[in-house]
Structure 1
């Protein structure tokens, strides 16, 4: 039905209209606004989330926050999660549990994370970090605002400079209506997404027969691991404890057996109000025996939920309207992936929208959003089903031979941390992931995020983390590993390489975010040489555009060895050097040798917009 346009309201042209101001929507709005994009974000809620809901940031998400300069506040307000504890039935004391094992929540030697911990922090606080930073840039969330109707003009879709989408929105308080003409729309409006339903996008999935109770409280308990992540399997049931900020803990309790609640799609609406938090806590007490936990004077939040696991059949319509976050995937909260998956959906989408909106990239670049993030969601659901089953199954014993074994459960949790941390996300080959030349730097996996490392800035001997060279500023980074240029052989290869980099820059657009001109490609030089400031002037100008952009792979200035280099060895780069393309989202897109630099030129040509 054609959109009603004869309204007594406003008509606005917007580059990107975002529906939903949860984590996914706010990440998208913040990233776009930061890049100078004309963006509008609407939300039906009058205020941000006040209590409950998601509360965990995984190591890869912490890296993303660091790339935006947002991590310090999250660390200051949140609780760092470093240790996991596993409790199982005590074979010698029926009805009691005992500690099976304590392990690092994220193993540094296995994952190679920059941050070997997670942060638990209330979703509303995380939302507020984005809201405050957006406000400083002049962008506010339009609250109490709902979408009413949506229309796409087929004749305008092909022209990237047009506004083919019309959406009628309404402020529910004032009843004022507005027509928004948008180039792009992002539906980040939750599991019951109005945008997804308007587009008739199906969700492929199912509801598992498990119902969980959850509550937030400040505990008085003798349970030893209440300040660690703790998974408890007992003969009485299953629960999980997650330490939170402000001395809070979150308790998840499986409602089964005599405490069972039948799983239905309407479980939250039907019985949430009928199940008080005291009842959920009482079930937890049985699971924690012989440890005790007192009833607090008040609970901050409590709820019931079923585990719905599903993925939207598609993530976009005509590369103009996109869905993200819970609008396109739902799963259990056991692995702490919900908010992290949502944040990283729009982190992936935002830079692609920026490049297309500014005319730098072909619109086909936007197709890689669904290609990359939907496969991630499918992998997440497969992992979540295994984890949810092991969480929810009763412990294996003589009378329950098909139950969850403690070895199987602990093994899955520990072995899957690469995935659950976000560090192990690996995008498949596409126009922006070219896996040729992987052997040139076998420690840098094409399609995965750039691994961490420490280098020394040449002119002031300051140790710098490699990730700090890769801020989320919408630019591609070209990491030029020159090899050892102390001798004339390797040094002599650099002028020709610099000329080819200059030619590549001429292919790329000149970026002007906030009126400040800068190239779409930033080159950084990392040498496998001694700390000799005299080497700086030997580099071609292209490889030393500023004194702060040249580094060596060495130990710190004190020679104490505390700040160790060895990135060439860790990255698997030989004496002949390498060139590594890092995308604006920190993922490695391509690698080449010096002679094969044309490979990188072809990489960019595959998605850059021609004249």
Structure 2
């Protein structure tokens, strides 16, 4: 007889999306289990680029420090184009990241196995391990509407097969009953088959391109001067991209022609058995593209693959808000813009807190609809960006003989135009993603924070703690701990600011009354962070009403540190008038949900009543 078990959330697939999901849910106290068909984590290769926004997200879980320590940072990008004298020449250099508000103004590159190790070690400290090697063989979802609406029911039945059960007579089958299932079960570089997606019958919209690329990870021996910078090379022999990696390693993306590769017409993928191109042949193509510079391998090839660029988005990201798909299971695109792993991890980062709230009974199950609303729109935008970027990168360069080719100016303009989006900083969740919420509730006070857009991540900035003048990056005070943060910009409440002091006192009364916002939902939903536009010499943190200083560490000043090296001008950064103030509501995933004036507690109550379950 197969063994049977129950779990709140079953995560299928221990790639970056699945690991992000599992660790976040475990931190939140959710009963989560994660399985994977691989006996071990990825050893080398696969995805390797972590964008600035994803670094911020990892920092919110306390995981960025190790990434920054072990990974390589890319600060500059160089562009090479055909030279009139033959070969290639450098036509420009610029910043790798073109988003001024990036807290981390660079990409980090590190092979996927090392990135997975960061999650795995963190999970191990929390008492969670990946169960392997296991594959799902059947998935059944209840059709009972009452059961599907009850977040405490177990409407998903998943049959698992343990691949390492070798004892004769031992049953290798297990039945798991889950409240929710997350399918993050695509583990190949090009975003191939997802068992969960296929089982659910979810169709991918999009197309396979004609762009064929090879990838090689190696330690090079070269006289190429920009080998430690990200490089976009357009040559008469085809295009190439250089991604510097940890240590002395680099990754080469090498454009191939259809005559080099055999494509399986049935699957639309490279037939690696019939294709005779291997790593040595890829390196030979790269040598021609690098001319007049030379490049050889110093040692063995670390990893390689060949793929066709597919650009597709799933028609839906969940079934009945009980089984979800994430990462490459629901969107595939070119890896050269460094989006795949980042989009995947941010998918489940978006889902973690929503699932936690529903499981805790803090929010209605309809909140889970917003996962598809927000992340599918982002995936569609990502595909639109990727189509333009891939066409430019894979197109022939403009030369005397090819005037219709891609010019350096056109490529550079596209690189800079899409910079904020590609690094994740420009992700913007549309209003009204919460069911039944009218647009006006979220946006009617947007003018109070003219530089902090509702629907985008909270801007980074350094403030000074009132109690001890210690500078802090605000994002570090808003961790991914499943709590909503009320960031209260109270304005200047220094000596003589009687009117503003009275407004702040009234706000504290409105928030703290027995039927008020802080009492009407479960304890632990909110954290308050108060920011004063008053210099440190003129304010004690104890000057604030108790509601607005729940702990001595939760009061900040928009002032410079003791040596004037950092901090200050924070109200300008967010576009808040110090004479007016504002309340910025930050979601548990770091995105701004809404903005209200200090007198806007009723608007806050209306906002949260649409999806949180009241206890009063």
Aligned to 2:573: 570
Whole-angstrom CA distance in 2 between matches of 1:436 and 1:297: 61
Whole-angstrom CA distance in 2 between matches of 1:553 and 1:64: 24
Counterparts of 1:182-331 in structure 2, within 5 Å, are 182-190=178-186, 191-256=192-257, 259=260, 265=267, 267-271=269-273, 274-331=276-333
Aligned to 2:594: 590
Whole-angstrom CA distance in 2 between matches of 1:442 and 1:348: 25
User: Which of the residues 457, 476, 481 maps onto 1:473?
Assistant: 481
Aligned to 2:518: 505
Aligned to 2:154: 163
CA spacing shift, 1:423–1:272, aligned 2, 3 Å: farther
State whether residues 278 and 295 of structure 1, in contact with CA within 8 Å, keep that contact through their aligned partners in structure 2.
no
- Unmatched 5+ stretches in structure 1: 1-7, 511-518
Aligned to 2:116: 127
Whole-angstrom CA distance in 1 between matches of 2:199 and 2:539: 63
Whole-angstrom CA distance in 2 between matches of 1:273 and 1:472: 46
**Residues 503-545 of structure 1, C-alpha deviation per residue, up to 9 Å, x if partnerless?**
11112212xxxxxxxx210001100001037532221100111
Q: Are 1:138 and 2:127 counterparts?
A: yes
Whole-angstrom CA distance in 1 between matches of 2:70 and 2:409: 35
Give TM-score, length-normalised by structure 2.
0.94
CA spacing shift, 1:211–1:272, aligned 2, 3 Å: farther
SS of residue paired to 2:540: helix
SS of residue paired to 2:121: helix
**Residues 44-75 of structure 1, C-alpha deviation per residue, up to 9 Å, x if partnerless?**
11111111110010000000111111111011
Using the TM superposition, give the Cα deviation of residue 598 of structure 1 relative to its aligned residue in structure 2, in angstroms: 1.2
Aligned to 1:179: 175
State whether residues 466 and 539 of structure 2, in contact with CA within 8 Å, keep that contact through their aligned partners in structure 1.
no
State whether residues 208 and 268 of structure 2, in contact with CA within 8 Å, keep that contact through their aligned partners in structure 1.
no
Using the TM superposition, give the Cα deviation of residue 298 of structure 1 relative to its aligned residue in structure 2, in angstroms: 1.1
State whether residues 272 and 303 of structure 1, in contact with CA within 8 Å, keep that contact through their aligned partners in structure 2.
no
Q: Are 1:489 and 2:490 counterparts?
A: no
CA spacing shift, 1:345–1:257, aligned 2, 3 Å: closer
Using the TM superposition, give the Cα deviation of residue 431 of structure 1 relative to its aligned residue in structure 2, in angstroms: 4.6
**Residues 335-365 of structure 1, C-alpha deviation per residue, up to 9 Å, x if partnerless?**
0000000000000001100000000001111
State whether residues 218 and 251 of structure 2, in contact with CA within 8 Å, keep that contact through their aligned partners in structure 1.
yes
**Residues 537-573 of structure 1, C-alpha deviation per residue, up to 9 Å, x if partnerless?**
2211001111111011011112x3x213101011111
Aligned to 2:612: 608
State whether residues 373 and 433 of structure 2, in contact with CA within 8 Å, keep that contact through their aligned partners in structure 1.
no
State whether residues 184 and 320 of structure 1, in contact with CA within 8 Å, keep that contact through their aligned partners in structure 2.
yes
**Residues 16-45 of structure 1, C-alpha deviation per residue, up to 9 Å, x if partnerless?**
001000000000000000111000111011
Whole-angstrom CA distance in 1 between matches of 2:277 and 2:220: 20
Using the TM superposition, give the Cα deviation of residue 390 of structure 1 relative to its aligned residue in structure 2, in angstroms: 0.8
Structure 1, 289-298 or 199-208: larger mean CA deviation: 289-298
Using the TM superposition, give the Cα deviation of residue 206 of structure 1 relative to its aligned residue in structure 2, in angstroms: 0.6
State whether residues 209 and 262 of structure 1, in contact with CA within 8 Å, keep that contact through their aligned partners in structure 2.
no
Counterparts of 1:497-576 in structure 2, within 5 Å, are 497-502=507-512, 503-510=516-523, 519-532=524-537, 534-558=539-563, 560=564, 562-574=565-577, 575-576=579-580
State whether residues 579 and 591 of structure 1, in contact with CA within 8 Å, keep that contact through their aligned partners in structure 2.
yes
**Residues 170-229 of structure 1, C-alpha deviation per residue, up to 9 Å, x if partnerless?**
101216111111000000001311111111000001100111011000000000111000
Whole-angstrom CA distance in 2 between matches of 1:491 and 1:535: 13
Using the TM superposition, give the Cα deviation of residue 240 of structure 1 relative to its aligned residue in structure 2, in angstroms: 0.5
**Residues 5-25 of structure 1, C-alpha deviation per residue, up to 9 Å, x if partnerless?**
xxx121111000010000000
Whole-angstrom CA distance in 2 between matches of 1:581 and 1:532: 28
User: Which of the residues 31, 52, 59 maps onto 2:52?
Assistant: 59
Whole-angstrom CA distance in 2 between matches of 1:365 and 1:494: 32
State whether residues 77 and 231 of structure 2, in contact with CA within 8 Å, keep that contact through their aligned partners in structure 1.
yes
Whole-angstrom CA distance in 1 between matches of 2:115 and 2:258: 36
Whole-angstrom CA distance in 2 between matches of 1:161 and 1:333: 39
Aligned to 2:22: 29
Q: Are 1:453 and 2:453 counterparts?
A: no
Using the TM superposition, give the Cα deviation of residue 398 of structure 1 relative to its aligned residue in structure 2, in angstroms: 3.3
**Residues 373-432 of structure 1, C-alpha deviation per residue, up to 9 Å, x if partnerless?**
000000000000111111111112233232211111111112211000000000001254
Aligned to 2:189: none
User: Which of the residues 334, 340, 346 maps onto 1:344?
Assistant: 346
CA spacing shift, 1:272–1:49, aligned 2, 3 Å: farther
User: Which of the residues 427, 433, 456 maps onto 2:429?
Assistant: 427
Using the TM superposition, give the Cα deviation of residue 262 of structure 1 relative to its aligned residue in structure 2, in angstroms: 5.4
SS of residue paired to 2:114: helix
Structure 1, 71-80 or 166-175: larger mean CA deviation: 166-175
User: Which of the residues 404, 407, 414 maps onto 1:405?
Assistant: 407
**Segments of 4+ moved more than 4 angstroms:** 257-264
CA spacing shift, 1:260–1:170, aligned 2, 3 Å: closer
Using the TM superposition, give the Cα deviation of residue 272 of structure 1 relative to its aligned residue in structure 2, in angstroms: 7.4
SS of residue paired to 1:455: strand
Using the TM superposition, give the Cα deviation of residue 256 of structure 1 relative to its aligned residue in structure 2, in angstroms: 2.2
Whole-angstrom CA distance in 2 between matches of 1:419 and 1:475: 26
**Residues 567-602 of structure 1, C-alpha deviation per residue, up to 9 Å, x if partnerless?**
101111111100110000000000001122211111
Aligned to 1:516: none
Whole-angstrom CA distance in 2 between matches of 1:192 and 1:272: 20
Whole-angstrom CA distance in 2 between matches of 1:207 and 1:497: 56
State whether residues 9 and 31 of structure 2, in contact with CA within 8 Å, keep that contact through their aligned partners in structure 1.
yes
Whole-angstrom CA distance in 1 between matches of 2:274 and 2:76: 32
CA spacing shift, 1:431–1:234, aligned 2, 3 Å: closer
User: Which of the residues 75, 89, 98 maps onto 1:98?
Assistant: 89
Using the TM superposition, give the Cα deviation of residue 267 of structure 1 relative to its aligned residue in structure 2, in angstroms: 4.0
Aligned to 1:514: none
Aligned to 1:369: 371
